[in-house]
Amino acid sequence: MLKSVGILLVAAVILFIEVPPLLEKKYKKELIVFSILLAFGVGLGIAYSFGKSIPNPIDLLTFIFKPLHDAITR
């Protein structure tokens, strides 16, 4: 619980630093990409802090390349 509060605090600090200059310059696209990435990061962080398993890109790569490796080394 404490960890996720910490993550939200960090996210709040990041929002506080980044968003005002973006609004001032009217960078709409930047704001959208930034928000999506931040939401993704916060989501992952909270899931991790509760001990949930997080999709691991290595598993995906293993799934793709393992048959190739087996075929070559056999």
Instruction: In angstroms, give the least distance from the CB of 17 to other proteins.
Output: 7
Contact status: 20 vs other proteins (CB under 8 A): no
Length of the chain: 74
4 within 8 A of 50, measured Cβ to Cβ: yes
Give the relative orientation of helices 2-25 and 28-49 as an angle to the nearest 10 degrees: 180
CA distances from residue 67 to 55, 58, 59, 74 in whole angstroms, order as listed: 20, 15, 13, 11
Residue 59 CB, shortest distance to other proteins, in Å, is: 10
Interface positions, 43-62, toward other proteins (CB under 8 A): 44-45, 48, 53-54, 56-58, 61-62
Residues at the site binding other proteins, with contacts judged by CB under 8 A: 10-11, 14, 17-18, 22, 27, 29-31, 33-34, 37-38, 40-42, 44-45, 48, 53-54, 56-58, 61-62, 65-66, 68-69
